[in-house]
């Protein structure tokens, strides 16, 4: 009964908050953001194995992705692995672009889940408040 109640609470949260559009580029649909913080640079997404999550990184900055604490990162694969710096610490993946104006995809495989990302690198003077991401975190049903 308690799980069902929690499910109904989460469902009502999603019905009353417009999460049907995450921050996208060129009107491509990306993962559903859950607005749990006032700081737009920290993103909280509801994990869905059928979603692609957008990570916009400004050249000269680093961002990170945090998966569930019980997950062990097994492998990370990038379409363009030469233009990005990737470091793993426990359940966090730190990402930095090595060049400006990049776009590639990235897959993170853990012992529990598979995550798909679209990585975009922009120059700082192209700064758009809602694009800038320091951290991506996930919630799970």
What's 60's domain CATH number?
2.60.40
This prediction's pTM: 0.74
E-strand stretches of the chain = 42-46, 52-58, 62-66, 73-78, 84-89, 92-97, 102-110, 114-122, 135-139
* pLDDT of res. 17: 40
Asked if residue 81 belongs to a domain, the reply is: yes
Residue 2 falls inside a structural domain: no
Q: What is the mean pLDDT of each run of 10 residues along the chain (141 residues)?
A: 57 43 43 66 91 91 96 98 97 96 97 97 70 89 87
**7 domain residue, yes or no:** no
- Structural domain of residue 54, as residue ranges? 19-139
- Report the relative pairing of strands 102-110 and 114-122 from DSSP bridges: antiparallel
In a domain, 102, yes or no: yes
Which tokens hold the place of 103? 């776009």
pLDDT at 97: 95
Within-domain flag for 4: no
* Model pLDDT for residues 62-80, shown as the tens digit of each residue: 999 999 999 999 999 999 9
């Amino acid at each position: 009964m308690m799980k069902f109640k929690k499910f109904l609470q989460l469902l009502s949260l999603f019905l009353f908050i417009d999460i049907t559009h995450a921050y996208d580029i060129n009107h491509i649909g990306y993962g559903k953001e859950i607005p749990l913080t006032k700081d737009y640079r920290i993103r909280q997404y509801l994990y869905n194995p059928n979603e692609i999550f957008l990570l916009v990184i400004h050249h000269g900055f680093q961002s990170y992705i945090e998966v569930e604490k019980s997950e062990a990162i097994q492998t990370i694969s990038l379409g363009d692995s030469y233009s990005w710096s990737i470091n793993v610490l426990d359940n966090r993946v730190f990402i930095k672009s090595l060049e400006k104006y990049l776009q590639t995809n990235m897959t993170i495989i853990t012992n529990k889940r598979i995550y798909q990302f679209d990585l975009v690198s922009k120059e700082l003077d192209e700064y758009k408040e809602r694009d800038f991401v320091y951290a991506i975190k996930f919630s799970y049903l």
